[in-house]
Chain A
Amino acid sequence: MNNQNNVYEINRRNFIGTFSSMMAMMGGVAITRAHENKPAEAQERFTGPPLNCAIIGCGQQGREIVTNLSRIQQANIAAISDTYSAYLNRTGRQAPKAAKVTEYKKLLDDKNIDAIIVATPTHQHKDIVLQALQAGKHVYCEAPLAHTIEDARTIAKAARDAKKSYFQAGLQQRSDPEIVHILNFVRAGAAGTAFLARSQYHKKNSWRRSSPDANFEKTLNWRLDNQTSIGLVGELGIHNIDAASWFLNMRPQAVTGFGSTILWNDGRNVPDTSQTVIDYARGARMLYDATLANSFDSEYDIYYGTDATVMLRDRRGWMFKEVDSPLLGWEVYARKETFFKEVGIVLAANATKLAAQGENAIIDTQVATQGSLYYALEAFVVNADLIKSGVTEFTTNFGADDQSALGDYLMDISKNHLPAAGWKEGYEATVTAIKAHEAVMKGGKVELTDELYNLA
């Protein structure tokens, strides 16, 4: 009884005994977003002529992009490009109407192409992005933006200065309504003061790609070479670290890393296992654990606050409340799911509203049918199209003389954009990712200074 924990334990038992129906509140609440009942007519709604998109880089991510983009009514996959014919042909089967181009520069000269989606290996992003912006295209660049700070800086500056081009960084979770909804829970303080984020990526696979063409294998396996890759933490962890910084609403201050090659001693010089600790202000930290040597519990993100813990897994969210946390009210009606000894409250955006409507309200726990990448690409197409029509209508009505007024106008209408990561978010996340990989490679701490993040 002298122990604080015992006090909670006793209270917990009493509490459960007295209010058994409220028991589940002690545990976790699943978090899902309220779903808009989009009417069938919305699907047929006129959205203007489609945005002609070209995808450069037809590897795994490029194919994912083609799959998702083909479901977006407003997008037209006009062309795909890759220097590797096997990839190009395979992706071509998913987009039979798209022109297949080996030399991407041809796409930049094509006036009919509005937007370029860059999904090449990271170290090849810079030249393509710069040339695409130069050609006046809208650009979606996969994250990380680059494998060096210098390249990332060059890309971000070019994107910032290309006022007539819409630029989006491939931090897809920033556009995902499910994740934005859970972000609001954490940011609003429903979990108390958030002080720790922990993410893991556990997969048992080599990360190696094979090709019948032995000469091409090295090119294909750019992720395993330290010259071209920023490793697990840089290529994959960038999304989790960005989400943590976003949820905590802080910029990282330092990163400490550890790396080892446990299982895949196949000549690679990028570790197959790494742990990273990221320091934020007021003692908050993020732990990122990645391995290709074990698959237990796959991947998830957990945000720990003083009142509750929020778990994000397969784009669903649950809240696990501390026994002494304030009562929110709506969780009484929320759906719960059990994880071993903990009960998770399904986080549903409509839970509070439905609770107000009475017990008969059905809480929608259906998970969105589309993935994060779909929402990110949808945002890209919609936002790029808005900028495109803004440029057209502005110059039609006011002429093309006043480019500075046009820039101001485009900045003004960008407040109508669907949420997405721009050059700033992309740059900052890339800087953290590059430095995290640097820390992993040296097995020590790297300071993250303001100068690093500020674009001159």
Chain B
Amino acid sequence: MNALRALSPKTLVAAVLVLGAVSLQAQVRYQAVPGSKVKIAGTSTIHDWTVEGKVIGGFAEFESEAALDPSKTVSDVKAKVEVNVPVSQILSGKKLMDDIMHDALKIKNHKNITYALKEIKPQARKAGEPLKYDTKGDLTVAGVTKPIDMVVTLVPEGDKLRATGTQQLKMSDFGIKPPAPAVGLGLIKTADEVTVTFEWLTKKAAPKTASLN
């Protein structure tokens, strides 16, 4: 801030103009806001279980707003998406279970679950139908990165954008041994497969450079 204050208003305007010229045309950025939910559901020899996290950070940048307009059909979309889920905020309501789960997710060395989009392709649809995309991306859990293909639905809500999806995953794919906690008589075993359901809410970021274009 001090550095900015030291600049004269003229230099500042010039600097902003230069930055504006470099930025992508009409690019739109959505920044994560509160209101998200990720659920991981699985089963075990004693009961089905669910854990939930409500902090999903990150951003989504689209080359153009057209990709988010249900009234239009677009064949090609360019986007950059990075998602971050802090493991410590994934909770079950039971401390013992949280400890086991956080431990399985190797929280000590890997505090976040992250996702980075690589490819996004709109599904064939008629104008007015929900926006569905076939996506390819890298999911990193417990420090292990795996490519995943996922269908994501985008729902614009005013200046907000809700992305939803469901994905089956295997713990073992990420080097996680399904927990078999030595509680009770030691008969608890967790199934390898889990279902991840998410709703990620983002909000259009205030245009910083676009207005100058």
Of the candidate stretches B67-75, B82-90, B139-147, B149-157, the one touching chain A is B82-90
Contact A397 B84 (CB under 8 A): yes
Contact B86 A398 (CB under 8 A): no
**Chain B 86-100 interface 0/1 with A at a Cβ cutoff of 8 Å (1 = within):** 101101111110111
Set of chain A residues within 8 Å of B88, measured between Cβ atoms: 48, 389, 393
B203 smallest CB distance to A (angstroms): 10
Interface residues of B in 92-119 (CB under 8 A from A): 92-96, 98-100, 102-103, 107-108
Known: A46-B102, A382-B95, A398-B32. A389 touches B181 (CB 8 A): no
Q: Nearest-CB distance from B88 to chain A (Å)? A: 4
Q: How far is the CA of A37 from the CA of B99 in the complex (A)?
A: 15
A39 to B100, CA, bound (A): 11
Q: How far is the CA of A42 from the CA of B58 in the complex (A)?
A: 33
Known: A390-B89, A397-B55, A398-B55. A36 touches B99 (CB 8 A): no
Interchain CB contact (< 8 A) of B57 among A45, A396, A405, A413: A396
- Across the interface, do B98 and A409 meet the contact criterion of CB distance under 8 Å? no
B28 at the interface (CB under 8 A from A): no
Distance from A39 Cβ to chain B, minimum over Cβ atoms (Å): 4
How many residues of A are in contact with the other chain, CB < 8 A?
29
- Report, as a range, how many residues of chain B touch the other chain: 20 to 34
Are A413 and B84 closer than 8 Å at their CB atoms? Answer: no
Q: B14 contacts the other chain (Cβ, under 8 Å)?
A: no
Cβ of A359 under 8 Å from chain B: no
A355 to chain B minimum Cβ distance, whole angstroms, is 16
Q: Are A389 and B89 in contact (CB under 8 A)?
A: yes
- The distance from the CB of A256 to the nearest CB of chain B, in whole angstroms, is 41
**A39 near B95: Cβ-Cβ < 8 Å:** no
> Within 8 Å of chain B (Cβ to Cβ): is A110?
no
Given contacts A393-B55, A398-B55, contact A413 B89 (CB under 8 A): yes
Decide: A42 and B55 in contact? CB cutoff 8 A. Answer: no
Which residue of chain B lies nearest to A417 when distances are taken between CB atoms in the complex? B95
Instruction: Flag if A409 contacts B54 (CB, 8 Å).
Output: yes
**B183: contacting residue among A37, A47, A398, A416, CB under 8 A:** A37
Nearest-Cβ distance from residue A199 to partner chain B, whole angstroms? 30
> Is residue A418 within 8 Å, beta carbon to beta carbon, of the partner chain?
yes
Q: List the A side residues contacting B184 at CB < 8 Å.
A: 37
A394 contacts partner chain B, Cβ-Cβ < 8 Å: yes
> Are A418 and B34 interface neighbours, CB within 8 A?
no
**Residue pair B34, A38 in contact (C-beta under 8 Å):** no
Q: Does B120 contact A (CB under 8 A)?
A: no
Contact A393 B86 (CB under 8 A): yes
B33 close to chain A: CB less than 8 A: yes
Q: Does A450 contact B (CB under 8 A)?
A: no
Given A46-B103, A418-B95, check contact A39 B34 (CB 8 Å): no
Residue pair A416, B98 in contact (C-beta under 8 Å)? yes
Give which listed residue, B56, B84, B94, B108, contacts A46 with CB less than 8 A: B108
Structural contact, B99 and A412, CB atoms closer than 8 A: no
With A and B bound together, what is the CA distance between A413 and B94 in angstroms? 11
Contacts of A390 in B (CB 8 A): 89
Residue on B nearest A405 in the bound complex, by CB:
B34
Interface residues in chain A, defined as those with a beta carbon under 8 Å from any beta carbon in chain B? 36-39, 41-42, 45-48, 382, 386, 389-390, 393-394, 396-398, 402, 405-406, 408-409, 412-413, 415-416, 418
Point out residues on B near A: beta carbons under 8 Å.
32-34, 54-58, 84, 86, 88-89, 91-96, 98-100, 102-103, 107-108, 181-184
